[in-house]
Each structure stands twice: as structure tokens, then as C-alpha cells.
Structure 1
Amino acid sequence: MRLEKFFPYRLAVVAEAFSRQLVAVYGRGHGLSREEWRLLFLLEDAETLDSQRLSQRTSLDKVQVSRAASRLEAKGFILREVLGADRRKRNYAITPEGRAQFRAVFGDVETRANEILAAMPDEDRAALEQGIAALDKAIATVTQPETGHGTSFPRPDRAETR
């Protein structure tokens, strides 16, 4: 089998290429690492998250979260507090400065993502959206039938608009 035709490989390569385009915006343009951006994005959406809920909603491991949180806290973008006696459990909250930074960065990231997606015909973009939702549902069917969805992303039929 040729690697270029192996679906998991193709999906990973395209996803990484798309992600690199966005890293160029929030990284070079705004000085955020990929991990910092993801954490800031999650916290802007939720306002506060404890460490358990945070780990459920991101693909980052505990070390990546901890390091990104330390850097964001040093920049004044988030606050962290220990929950109870177990010092490993924390609550994370976005600060007003973090929210302002997120909004400044998000506009640029959204513009870049839309530039790339606009280069696709409308029907291909719709098919991509449908395919991603179908893949998520298939993953849930195979791996997590009790939860109803495979990723931590809201289902398109349940997503709220902001």
C-alpha cells in the first residue's frame, strides 16, 4: 500500500499543514505556543475549567497543560488555583487581559482559516464539514458508545453560536 493513499496518514498530514498555517498567525504574530493557544481558547469559551474537565476537552497531556498554564499565568492571561488538599488538582480561569488577548488573536486566526477554506468550492467545504462530523460519529460508535460522541468538540447539531 502506498503511504500517500493511506487515509489516516493523509488526514494527519493535511490537519498538520492546516494547523501550521494557524500557528504562523498566533505564534509568530502574537507570541503564543500551540499549547498556550489551545488553553486560552478553551478558557475563553468556558471562562473557568478544573484540571479534570480541561484534560477531557483537549488533546494536551498534563505536562503540556502545566507548562502552557505557567507561561499564560506569567503573562497575566490566566489564573490558576489549587483545589483542596491534592495539589495536582487545579482550577483555571481566564483574566480580562487573557480575554482581550484571545479576541485580538482570534480575529487574525479566523481570517487565515477562512482564507484557506474559501479557496475550496462551497460544495467541497460542506462535504468536508459533513465528513468530519461523520468521522467523529463513527469514532464514537466504535470507541465510546456510551458517551454519544468521539471528541470533546460540540456536535454541530448541538453547538451554540456565539
Structure 2
Amino acid sequence: MNSDGSIDQPRGQRDLLNYRLKTLFALSGAPGLRLFEGGFGIARAEWRLLAILVEDGAMSPTQLATRAHMESARASRLITSLMGKQLVLRVELETDRRRAVLQATEAAHALFAQIFPLLVKINAELVEVLDAAEREVFEQCLRKLTGRARELADRGVAPEVSANRWMGSVRRDEKRKSG
């Protein structure tokens, strides 16, 4: 179904900003995905965690999941995978052996040094369709939209409804049957 809508007056899901951004992300991320998985044997989500550790330094698993905007369970599985690939170390805190921080290994730093310049090249090829003025406007728009999204997330658009991805379909089905 084609739509004549826009992001400020959507007529269908394809007009929604998140849908359009997800499409852009999927299409623009494909070369990087091939690079990670085919060239270096690392998943895109693993790269996200690894890059954060390399760029920001050691942190707790919870902090890492939060910075990556990722659910803790998924982050935990990826961390385990990265540890298996000897790209991440779990270092127990001397003050409390139950707690630990994660840090990127030397191999992770070397991998980052190989992959990041290739991603910069892909990024340059993507944004070269925009002239300098368009790139500046796009940067401003991204900052504004990110700030607004942060406000909405903090405030909660529908605070009376809680998110439960595991129960969502069950609750919807129950509501449909009773309503």
C-alpha cells in the first residue's frame, strides 16, 4: 500500500518516523553487517557492546546494557559470546567479589582499530548524497529528535500502561475477548 502521508501527518505505518528510521538503519547497516559477520566473525550487536567498551572504558554489565540501549538478558548473552571470543574480560572488584566490571582486551582494541575505519568509509559513502548544508540541518534535526525522544521516554507517553514484551500478546488477546 502506497501512502501520501508524511512524518507529521502519517497515513500508515510506513509514514511513521520510527518505521522510516528503521528502514534506513536496515539498509544502511547491511554493508557493516556483512563486514562484521563475514569479515571479522562478530555480530552487529556484539560490535555495539565492544565499541562502547573500547571507547568508554571498563564498566559494569548493567552500565554497558544501558549505554547500548539493550535489554540486560540480551546484553548478557552477547557479553558471554564476546568473552568466549576473548574480546572482553570480566574483572571482579576487590571490594566486592560478587560485582565485576567488563573491559575490552587488547584483541578487542586491535579489532576496533581494524573495523572502525571501514565503518567510517561506509558512513562517508552514505552521507555523501547530502551537501554540507543538508548534513548540518540533518545533525540539528537528529539532536532535536533525540532530545525529544529522551524527554518522552523519561516522561512516559502513556504512564498508565506498563511495557511487558513477554505478556503483551496475552494481554491484548484477553482484552479483545472480554471487550
Q: Normalising to structure 1: TM-score of the pair?
A: 0.77
Distance change in 2, residues 1:85/1:100 (3 Å) = closer
Residue 14 (structure 1) shift:
1.3
Q: 1:44 aligns with which of 44, 54, 57?
A: 54
Is 2:75 aligned against 1:59?
no
Residue 64 (structure 1) shift:
2.1
Q: In structure 2, what is the Cα distance between the partners aligned to 1:142 and 1:66?
A: 27
Preserved contact between residue 87 and residue 105 of structure 2 (Cα < 8 Å): yes
Select the structure of larger CA radius of gyration. Answer: 2
Match of 1:137 in 2: 147
Is 2:26 aligned against 1:16?
yes
Is 2:37 aligned against 1:27?
yes
Match of 1:68 in 2: 78
Q: Deviations over 1:39-84 (max 9, x none)?
A: 1100001220112211220122222222222222222211013554
* Structure 2, unaligned runs of 5 or more: 1-10, 156-179
Report SS of the residue matched to 2:144. helix
Name the stretch that deviates more: 3-12 or 89-98: 3-12
Name the stretch that deviates more: 7-16 or 131-140: 7-16
Q: 2:128 aligns with which of 118, 121, 138?
A: 118
Preserved contact between residue 61 and residue 76 of structure 2 (Cα < 8 Å): no
Deviation >3 Å, runs of 4+: 81-86
Distance change in 2, residues 1:17/1:51 (3 Å) = same
> Equivalent pairs: percent with the same residue?
21
Report SS of the residue matched to 1:144. helix
Residue 99 (structure 1) shift:
0.5
Residue 85 (structure 1) shift:
5.7
How many matched pairs?
143
User: RMSD across aligned C-alpha pairs, in angstroms?
Assistant: 2.0
Distance change in 2, residues 1:51/1:116 (3 Å) = same
Which fold has the larger relative contact order, with Cα–Cα distance below 8 Å and residues 6 or more apart in sequence?
1
